[in-house]
Structure 1
Amino acid sequence: MLHAVTRLRDRGHTDLSDSQTLELLRDIESATRILTSVSVATMVEASDRGIPDQVGVGTLKKLLVQTLRLSHIDAGARVAAARSLGSWHAVDGSTREPELACTAAALGAGEISTDHARGIAAVMKRIPRLTPHDEVRAAEEILADFARTGSPDDIPEVGRAILAHLDPDGRLTDDYDRQRRRGISIGRQRPDGMSPISGEITPTLRALLEPLIAKFARPGMCNPDDPDSPVSGARIGRDELSAAARRDRRSAAQRTHDAFLAILRPNTLGAEWGSHRGVPVSTILTMSVHDVETASGVATTATGGTVPISEALELAQVSQPYLLVFDHGGAALHLGRAKRLATHDQRLALIASVRGCSRPGCDAPASLCATHHVHEYAKGGRTDITNETLACDACHALIHEGEGGWKTVVMGQDSEFAGRTGWIAPPHIDPTATPMVNHRHHARELLAAALANIHRHRESRYQEWLHEHHPPPAA
């Protein structure tokens, strides 16, 4: 096998056409995925034979570190994958089905990657232990089937929808579990003066922190390397902030650090925090009237997070967040205006309905987005809620008339997603110019698509079985 790979490496690829190059990339990826499955089976075999004990290292992880010269993190990840994807043996010698059987089968067929498998495993670990076994198996089947055609980046969204379905009111995973896991640890200060920080925060703390971070960690804000960088929460001119952003060379993590530093300074805590992208810096919570009536489910924040309904209602009582409740149909408010800039209420309505950047595949939350006219204002597009959507700065820049430009349209009434914003990719991405909507901020849509796909597969298999065992009578 190694000889075959070496020959492929040495042969060169300059004689391949573009389509052959792409096909080779696909084949290599499929082979890599299948080899990962083989590696899992080999690790299980090594463990069953007791090889770690025989060579004196004691654990499978240490065997991988020393034999394959892997890092402890990589070795740990591979052992964790083997635990959930391998066919281990019971005490009586019988072979047990993999913990994630559907995921293991998809990986062995080269249909999903290790990132898919890792994402599925992370979701499955969050399923409450009191969940019935058949529902756990169904959840894994849905995730594995989605992974065959979906992106690993979307698996957490599908997982959140599944978890919300399995435990909508927190009776299986309640606040006690979240409070038990909460904590922020500041490690020992190192010789260079730096200190590591880690931990897990509750949904409520995240909902309160995120709007502040979105404001103070924005490019150009609170930059210690720039003496002219805005540092307070008072009203800041757009030109001033844009100029500071162009001078900003910090990473996102560095901006977050500097934002915390600015927020904790006494002069900042006592100041008015102002607005961010047209709305006050405050927690914005959206929920459906059904969730309010049943006191179950979760509220969604403008930054893409979720807060249990019970905690969201408490926040609304004791603080000043913005709370938007949608009717059973989920219809957005119809607010029209002749001026170019969206109103404060329109912005809130867009945050509640669109939730984030509307370009397919983008996961930027609403707090990082600007209001975009689907039909250009300069060409007669109105500043109405029906002609507005959200787009992050990077995706907004993709919309233009030149070569490689994207276009946006309002999906028609005959569409499954009527009224939503459809994005038309340039010809080199999609020659058919088919408008596509973004499902990444709407986890239930991703879950519905996965369920529909499973239903189609089962129906197809049933029809094949029916045709094989009960063929139609000859004419």
Structure 2
Amino acid sequence: MLAAAVDGLLESGLSGLSDGDVVEMMRELERSLRRAEAVSHRLVVESVERSIPSSLGCNSPRKLLIDVLRISGADASARVTAARELGVWHTLAGDPMAPVFPETAAAQRDGDIGTDHARAIARVMRKIPHAVGNEAVADAEAVLARLARTGTPEDVEQAGHRLLAYLNPDGNLGDDRDRKRRRGISIGRQDTELMSRISGELDPVARAMLDPILAKWARPGMNNPDDPGSPTGDGEDPALDRDMLAAAAARDTRTAAQRNHDAFSALFRALLESGVLGRHRGLPATVIVTMTLEQLEEAVGGLATTATGGLLPIADALALAEDAHPVLALFDHAGRPLHLGRRRRLASADQRLALIAADGGCTRPGCAAPPSLCAVHHVTDWHKGGRTDVDGLALVCDACHAQVNDSATGWATRSAPAHSTHAGRTEWIPPPHIDRTRTPRINHRHHPGELIERARRSRSAPVTHSPPAGAADHAAPGWAGRAAGPPRGADSGGGE
């Protein structure tokens, strides 16, 4: 039946399909191929439980797949591993056993995730230390599977790093002696083209200080030596011509690595011309670090989060804070900042600090952009009556901000209603070609703790309806600081 269906698709013409039909056919074909992978797992399980490999003279299921399907050894090993983790095996009495990763297996059977998603989840799960309890492991797998249903494999990998840090903040990080031993930057000799190779490793403090510098000096359009119209210096300079920067960014074809290189070159030049080397031995650090009150009181163990999306050991974060200006942001039980509203069009520095602590990064579902790459977005447009109060603002990176508009393909934003689980958080409403139901979604990527709690609640109290991964919950009361409203379009000028 499957072969006949494929024959029919191969012989069918596509020219008569509308654009929407082409997109829908791509989506449904991908879903069917993903579900077919689940059938492949069943066949591997069946062959092993029947001892087919040994009966055919093969010393392993992997060898059977290589001989019968003529696939590579690496592919065969990956398929056997996937069947072991996602397949339904049986006891000697014939009773079915749950898959090792049950939520991942269910997502693949539904066609919501593919092989790469499943492998990304498995890679993260294998890194969880044995000391973590079984319930926490199960919750982590459920969280990753839920994220995978609407994200990419790369999204799962990045979310997995944050999840591992949340589950085991003190594990596998090494100690100060290890970091001091590994730190170093090597500059090679000039080659025949007079280029010098740089390699090495930065410790957490050096990385935390470098990220905000690159976020300003290496942004697209800035410090481009091949573009005479490219602005130089700091990309956040108030005197900078924003139109000139936008035009230069549109012409900028450099890679991220090339922009980083040019930023270093511009920084070196500015440093030498400033004369600062005659008065100081280093650059001052401007690092925004978020930590809990418990971490601050204990002063040891765990990880703090930087505004650039990095992770920093608490001891190092406190060492950085010795010469810093501390800012205390108070939160209610729902995790939203209070009493920082400003009635003006552009967000204040206090509001931006509060949003960094509250949102943790771009609020668009699936986006991992840190606060340093985000602007302040009016959830309800400024020109549509939106307020510049902290409960009406959200962090959004430039790429995601461009997708918020009133067109047929644009996203919309609103504040979650007061009766929802994540009341007050920014909901994103996808366009119809992504989700025909236009179900509002919340970005959990920067809040791994709430994902764990959500998974635990779902395990202890099963529900009859499960919204798509990232979708907003509307089942429990919560903070009602933001007024719910209809979906809004793009904020044409409210960002910073």
Q: Calculate the TM-score normalised by the size of structure 2.
A: 0.68
What's the secondary structure of 1:175's corresponding residue? coil
Whether the aligned pair in 1 keeps the contact of 2:329 and 2:354 (CA below 8 Å) is no
| Residues 2-29 of structure 1 deviation map (CA, whole Å, 9 limit, x = unaligned) | 9547614522243678887666545532
1:254 to 246, 253, 258: 258
Identity of aligned residues (%): 43
Counterparts of 2:159 and 2:436 in 1: how far apart (Å)? 29
Offset of 1:211 from its aligned partner?
0.8
Q: 2 CA distance for matches of 1:28 and 1:188?
A: 50
Alpha-carbon offset, residue 384 of structure 1: 2.5
**Preserved contact between residue 291 and residue 309 of structure 1 (Cα < 8 Å):** yes
Q: Is the 8 A contact 1:211 1:303 kept in 2?
A: yes
Query: Is the contact made by 2:185 and 2:202 (CA closer than 8 Å) also made in structure 1?
Result: no
What are the superposed Cα offsets for residues 352-378 of structure 1, whole Å, 9 maximum, x if unpaired?
212222333433322122222334334
Map residues 72-471 of structure 1 onto 2, 5 A cutoff: 79=77, 82-83=80-81, 85-86=83-84, 100-102=100-102, 105-106=105-106, 109=109, 111=111, 112-132=113-133, 135-136=136-137, 139-140=140-141, 142-144=143-145, 147=148, 152-156=153-157, 159-160=160-161, 162-168=163-169, 170=170, 172-176=171-175, 179=178, 202-233=203-234, 235=237, 237-239=240-242, 240-263=244-267, 265=268, 267-268=270-271, 282-295=286-299, 296-317=301-322, 319-320=323-324, 324-327=328-331, 329=333, 330-401=335-406, 404-425=409-430, 435-457=440-462
Question: Contact 1:145–1:454 at 8 Å: present in 2 too?
Answer: no
Contact 2:231 2:240 in 1 (8 A): no
Q: Secondary structure at the match of 2:291?
A: strand
Q: Which runs of 5+ in 2 are unaligned?
A: 88-96, 277-283, 466-496
Q: In 1, Cα distance between the equivalents of 2:136 and 2:31?
A: 30
- 1:285 deviation in Å? 0.8
Q: Is the 8 A contact 1:232 1:271 kept in 2?
A: no
Output one character per residue of 1:141-172: Cα deviation in whole Å (capped at 9) or x when no partner: 5534654566545534653564345324x1x4
Note the alpha carbon deviations across 1:310-340, whole angstroms, 9 max, x for none. 32112212x5476555446334142343442
One-letter amino acid of the counterpart of residue 250, structure 1: R
Q: What is the CA deviation profile of residues 391-442 of structure 1, one whole-angstrom value per residue up to 9, with x for unaligned ones?
A: 2223333444555554443334333333333344556666766654333332
Contact 2:185 2:201 in 1 (8 A): no
Residue aligned with 2:175, SS: helix
Residues 414/281 of structure 1: CA separation in 2 closer, same or farther (3 Å cut): farther
Residue 219 of structure 1 deviates from its aligned partner by 0.9
- Partner SS for 1:337: coil
Q: Distance in 1 between matches of 2:422 and 2:225?
A: 46
Question: How far has the Cα of 1:301 moved from its partner?
Answer: 1.6
Q: Which has the higher contact order (CA 8 A, sep 6+)?
A: 2
Q: Offset of 1:246 from its aligned partner?
A: 3.2
Which residue of structure 2 lines up, in the alignment, with residue 464 of structure 1? Answer: none
- Mapped to 1, the partners of 2:2 and 2:209 lie a distance apart of 54
Q: CA–CA distance in 1 between the matches of 2:187 and 2:34?
A: 37
Q: Is the 2:222–2:249 Cα contact (8 Å) retained in structure 1?
A: yes
Task: Specify whether residues 131 and 398 from structure 1 end up closer, same or farther in structure 2 by C-alpha distance, changes over 3 A only.
Answer: closer
Which amino acid counterpart does residue 175 of structure 2 have in structure 1? Answer: Y
151-160 or 98-107: bigger deviation = 98-107
Q: CA 1:270–1:448 in 2, change beyond 3 Å: closer, same or farther?
A: farther
Q: Which runs of 5+ in 1 are unaligned?
A: 89-96, 274-279, 461-475
Structure 2: which amino acid aligns with 1:32?
L
Q: Give distance in 1, aligned partners of 2:428 and 2:183.
A: 41
Aligned-partner Cα distance in 2 for 1:254–1:420: 36
Query: How far did residue 218 of structure 1 move?
Result: 0.4
On the 8 A contact 2:208/2:287 being kept in 1, the answer is yes
23 and 324 in structure 1: CA distance in 2 versus 1, 3 angstrom threshold: same
Which residue identity is paired with 1:258?
D
Q: Is the 8 A contact 1:364 1:392 kept in 2?
A: yes
1:11 maps onto 2:14 in alignment? no
CA displacement at 1:129 relative to structure 2 = 4.1
SS in 2 for 1:218: coil
Shift of 1:113: 1.2
**Do the aligned residues in 1 keep the contact of 2:376 with 2:393 (CA within 8 Å)?**
yes
